[in-house]
Amino acid sequence: MRRVAAGLLLGLLLSLAWADGLREAKLSVRGETLELNPPALWDGRELWLPVMHLEKLGLPLEVSTHAVRLTTLSPDQSAAHLPLEMKRGASCAPIRDLARRLGGFTRWDEPSQTLTLLARLQEARLEGENLRIKTSLPVAWRTFKLENPNRLVIDLAGCALPDVPVPLPQPSERVHAVRIGQFDPNTVRIALEMDTPHAVPENGLHSEWQIALTPTSLAPVVAEAIDAPPVVMEEARPVEPTPEPFQMPVLQRNAQGVVQLSVPLPEGARPKVQFLENPLRIALDVPGYLQEAVEQVMDDPNLFVHTLRAVPVEGGGVRLVLELSRSVGAQILSGKTGVTLNLRAPRNTGGKLREKIIVIDPGHGGAQPGARWREGKTVIEEKTITLAISLHLAELLSREGAKVILTRAEDKAVGLYERTALSNSANAHFFISIHCDSNPRPNSASGTTIYYHKNDADSRALGQAILNEIVKVSGLPSRGVRSDSVLYQSGLAVLRTSTMPAVLIEVGFLNHSFDRAKLVQPAFQKRIAEAIAKGLKAHVEGQ
CA neighbor of 528 nearest in space, from 454, 462, 436: 436
| Helix H or strand E segment including 425 | helix 416-425
SS3 state of residue 241: coil
Q: Are 373 and 380 in contact (CB under 8 A)?
A: yes
Spatial distance between the Cα atoms of 284 and 303, rounded to a whole number of angstroms? 18
Q: Are 44 and 35 in contact (CB under 8 A)?
A: no
Residues 6+ apart with CB under 8 A from 50: 36, 38, 40, 87, 90, 91, 92
Residues 477, 542, 424: CA angle, nearest 5 degrees: 80
CA neighbor of 120 nearest in space, from 158, 160, 154, 156: 160
Could you say which of 375, 506, 530, 541 is catalytic? 506
SS3 state of residue 239: coil
Distances (CA, A) of 506 to 100, 189, 321, 447: 20, 35, 27, 8
SS3 state of residue 18: helix
- 381 classed as catalytic: no
Q: Are 279 and 305 in contact (CB under 8 A)?
A: no
Q: Please report how many Cα atoms fall inside a 13 Å half-sphere around the Cα of residue 476, on the Cβ side.
A: 32
DSSP code for 428: -
* DSSP bridge partners of 151: 146, 193
SS3 state of residue 99: helix
Spatial distance between the Cα atoms of 456 and 337, rounded to a whole number of angstroms? 25
Q: Which residues are catalytic?
A: 506
